[in-house]
A and B are shown apart, each in its own frame.
Chain A
Amino acid sequence: MEKRTRADTFVEEISASPGGEGICLCIQCGTCTASCPNADRMDHTPSQLIAMARAGMKEEVLSSNAMWHCLSCYLCTVRCPRGIKQTDLMHALECLAIREGLSSGRTRTPAMYRSFNDFVYSLGSLPEFGFMTWFYMLTNPLRAFRMIPVALSLLRHGRLSIKARRLTPEGTSQLKAILDKAESLGGAS
């Protein structure tokens, strides 16, 4: 009988996400890490993260701050000699971390993404001012205060719209129906 290890299950979970399947191809050359503008801010580098995932270190990987520092600049993706979609892989890890309730508390990026998505879900568009204010109030009201000069300069230059762009009522309900259906279908894998 085939023996399945903890590592197999985690790697399979990752592989099931679009782009995650490349995890098996990694040769640990480190090109992604060397290319990443933010690798020095990550508790584990992108290549370490892959090695850890393949060793079955699920909790350590999913609670890492690494994927939350990914900028989606795709430099790793275009350079990977094995054709791994490294950025998509990072997104897959972010999705899994959220699903398992393990997302890193050392970065505010998950909360920022959440606030962004909540606005887009309810309006179908992103009102930048509302989203940023909401996020700062939620995570660090002091920061909202420190952002006032930037907000004022945007306002003075006519770049801060308080009003959100709205879809038509039909468009809004159509989008909600699509997104609610997506929600009921589970993840992308």
Chain B
Amino acid sequence: MRYYTYFPGCSSSEGGAKAYGWSTQAVSKVLDIELIELDDWNCCGSTPYSSIEELASFCLSARNLALAEKRGLDLVTPCSSCYVILNRTNSHLKEYPQLKAKVDEALAAGGLEYHGTVRVRHLLDVFVNDIGYDEIRAKVKINLGGLKVAPYYGCQMVRPRPSFDHPENPQSLDKLIAGLGGEPVPFPLKSRCCGGSLIISEEALALELIRKIFDSALSNGAECLVTPCPLCQTNLDAYQSRVNHKFKANFNLPVLFFTQLMGVAFGLSDEDLGLKTCIVPTERVLAKYL
């Protein structure tokens, strides 16, 4: 059994990506991973805080990191935005002593201190590097039999800091899909942006970016997409009908969390994985495996 401190993030805990949280826990159990949720964590602040209230954004992250440091385990999150923001705080606190002094002072007001020792990991990193592809393959009960999957990494899991995969042409999700018996299709836009939170304030711009991603996936024969990011999943799934409407297109591409696809291959039930929360129905492509 491996133990980690777990940071679900707002979306995957009680937000729109609940099913990501459920499937993360269900798949981790199969892989003998125990994810222990960080007590009383707060929102990481995501892009909005870091854009307009920098110091406060570092403090939001630092509170979580300080709480996690008391446990001494790696801090694992399934959310790409939480991942980039928490890591950014870690590296900026090391790089900018003046910033660290201010953050320390703010933390002290809450009776906390942070020494910079917490390693922040993405769930996918833990799966492919701590557990490994072979062990994951060994848990497969239902081979995905050549299901054509577009691995959509999105941006914030692979950039900006050198991490566990290439910043522009990542491979970990491709290998994982292949290990489940699926066929990862070539996907040039695999790490391009889906529009992120600008889908709310500048919808037209984001819909255009999403359309390009669907075009790329579909022209390479994908039957569905998988992603390790709650925001990417929501944008591609919940806004697919708006893309169709705006561009007079008829995309009908299910968008799954990578953990949901793993769960299907592990023989887990629909309820454990929350497949019914997907807005574009998944039955058409997954029925034969369930």
Contact = CB atoms under 8 A, between A and B. Distances in A.
Contact of A178 (B112, B196, B202): B112
Category for how many chain B residues contact A: 35 or more
A188 B58 CA distance: 9
- Which residue among B16, B48, B96, B107 has the maximum number of chain A CB atoms within 10 Å of its CB? B48
Contacts of B58: 188
Nearest to B57: A188
Contacts of A69: 198, 202, 205
B11 to A, nearest CB: 7
A117 interface: yes
B15 to A, nearest CB: 5
Nearest to B14: A165
Contacts of B19: 159
B52 A128 contact: no
Nearest to A163: B14
Contacts of A181: 59, 105-106, 108-110
B42 A124 contact: yes
B119 interface: no
A135 B160 CA distance: 29
Contact of B192 (A73, A165, A168): A73
Interface stretch (B120-128, B136-144, B236-244): B236-244
Interface in A157-189: 157-161, 163-165, 167-168, 170-171, 174-175, 177-183, 185-189
B129 interface: no
B287 interface: no
A153 interface: yes
Given A77-B160, A185-B106, A71 B42 contact: no
B256 interface: no
Given A91-B51, A150-B238, A116 B276 contact: no
B205 A182 contact: no
A174 B63 CA distance: 9
B159 A78 contact: yes
A159 B54 contact: no
A47 interface: no
A113 interface: yes
Contacts of A125: 10, 14, 42-43
A41 B109 CA distance: 42
Contact of A171 (B40, B46, B242): B40
Contacts of A72: 47, 50-51, 84, 155-156, 196
A116 B160 contact: no
Contacts of A183: 56
A125 B274 CA distance: 23
Contacts, number: 213
Interface in B160-209: 160, 167-168, 192-193, 195-198, 200-202, 205, 209
Contacts of A161: 14-16, 18
Contact of A109 (B14, B201, B239, B274): B201
A158 B96 contact: no
Contacts of A77: 159-160
A157 B276 contact: yes
A16 to B, nearest CB: 9
Given A37-B192, A69-B205, A107-B202, A74 B159 contact: yes
Given A37-B192, A157-B278, A177-B110, A117 B239 contact: no
B99 interface: yes
B13 interface: yes
B55 A78 contact: no
A181 B109 CA distance: 7
A87 interface: yes
B105 A73 contact: no
B115 to A, nearest CB: 17
A91 B159 contact: no
Given A120-B48, A167-B42, A182-B59, 9 more contacts: A69-B202, A70-B51, A73-B193, A73-B196, A95-B53, A107-B201, A116-B49, A117-B52, A117-B53
Interface of B: 10-11, 13-19, 40, 42-43, 45-56, 58-60, 62-63, 84, 92, 95-96, 98-99, 102-103, 105-112, 155-156, 159-160, 167-168, 192-193, 195-198, 200-202, 205, 209, 238-239, 241-242, 274, 276-279
